Amino acid sequence: MSVYFSFAMDRFVVRNPPASAPSTSSNSKGKPRLKQTTIESLKGVVVVDEVLRHKSRLRLETTSKQEKLTSLVELGKKIPPRHIMQSTKIGNLIKKLAKSEDEDIRKAAKKVYIGWKTHFLEHMERPQIEVKCDLKTEKVRTSGKHLLAGALQLEETHQLPQTIERETFHDHRRLISHSYKRTIRNLVFILKHQEDMRSKVTSGEITVTDFVKEHKKS
């Protein structure tokens, strides 16, 4: 997992309107109250794994239309750097979806594409900072994808095990915790020993999102 960001530090604080404007966010002394936001909530902060998670969703044929629209909306809230768009090829996918036969998908993808293109034209020289995750995390996640692929009786490079692992990682706040490992083991066990459930997951009768949430371990 990598995180890219480029912003001024004062963007960590969301300022309220001037005192003359109507506001309900003042404290008892009449001073404006400042609200702190997380780094990842900023538009210029991009978690590469989240881009890849949405890409997996959008590429998976069994993903529902609503989930695809949700992923497009989430992608539209971020501005991936040019080299990330090139390495993940997310830009190519969005451009392809902008020509989708489905009107809703087409409109949503076009909105993302136009937003990104406009940003790049206005911020050509903005520097990017990269924060990478440790090798141990990557090793554990790769092992999880391998086990899921085996349980699904699919190649490790297939989109489905990749999507399931990314959804699981996301649901566990992108942390390799004890609960993440328990969930992966549980999903592998179910897919390996419950043929009916495996069939529902591979056919799309049950979505990846629902499958992971239903069998998530704490």
CB of 14 within 8 A of CB of 37? yes
For helices 65-76 and 90-97, the axis angle rounded to 10 degrees is 120
Tens digits of residue pLDDT in 163-179: 999 999 999 998 999 99
Strand partners, 3: 47, 131
The answer to whether 54 and 73 have CB atoms below 8 angstroms apart is: no
pLDDT in tens, 24-35: 454 555 666 655
Please give the distance of CA 25 from its chain centroid, rounded to a whole number: 32
Model pTM greater than 0.85?
no
Please report which helix (H) or strand (E) contains residue 87, including its range.
helix 82-88
